Amino acid sequence: DTAVSQTPKYLVTQMGNDKSIKCEQNLGHDTMYWYKQDSKKFLKIMFSYNNKELIINETVPNRFSPKSPDKAHLNLHINSLELGDSAVYFCASSPLAAEKLFFGSGTQLSVL
């Protein structure tokens, strides 16, 4: 069973569109994250949720909106996609008060 699963794996879309990426973890972890990895492989945190509550919101355009319906799910909705949003987006989870993150396999977003 996949511990942290995110869908879709690939997403190709036009500028200006709205898209969502879904993430689910079956590890029973309390904290979930979204990370962005750019073309230079630089991995940077975007959001962190602890038990459905937002605890980290780095400097991310407000076109990006995370939603956590329950502690096992953290979805990412992106409005008005721009070329610069092209990247790989990773979902991750960790137990409470633990730094060891478990990553999903990533969603490669290409904005044309």
Partner 1 sequence: EDKVVQSPLSLVVHEGDTVTLNCSYEVTNFRSLLWYKQEKKAPTFLFMLTSSGIEKKSGRLSSILDKKELFSILNITATQTGDSAIYLCAGNYGGSQGNLIFGKGTKLSVKP
Q: Which residue has the tokens 């190709």?
A: 12
Rank residues 17 and 110 by Cβ distance to partner 1 and give the closer one. Answer: 110
Contacts of 68 (CB under 8 A, 6+ apart): 32, 49, 52, 53, 54, 74, 75
Output the smallest distance, CB 80 to partner 1, in A. Answer: 27
Residues in the chain: 112
Residues 72-101 that bind partner 1 (CB under 8 A): 90, 92, 94, 96-101
Strand 87-94 vs strand 107-111: parallel, antiparallel, or unpaired? antiparallel
Phi, psi angles (nearest 5°) of residue 85: -80, -10
Which residue of 14, 39, 42, 62 would you call a contact of partner 1, by CB under 8 A? 42
Q: Does 7 bind partner 1 (CB under 8 A)?
A: no
Residue number with CB closer to partner 1 (64 or 103): 103
Give yes or no for residue 27 binding partner 1 (CB under 8 A): no
Q: Tell me whether residue 79 or residue 87 sits nearer to partner 1 (CB atom).
A: 87
Other C-beta atoms within 10 Å of 43: how many? 13
Q: Which residues bind partner 1 (CB under 8 A)?
A: 4, 31, 33, 40-45, 48, 50, 55-56, 90, 92, 94, 96-106
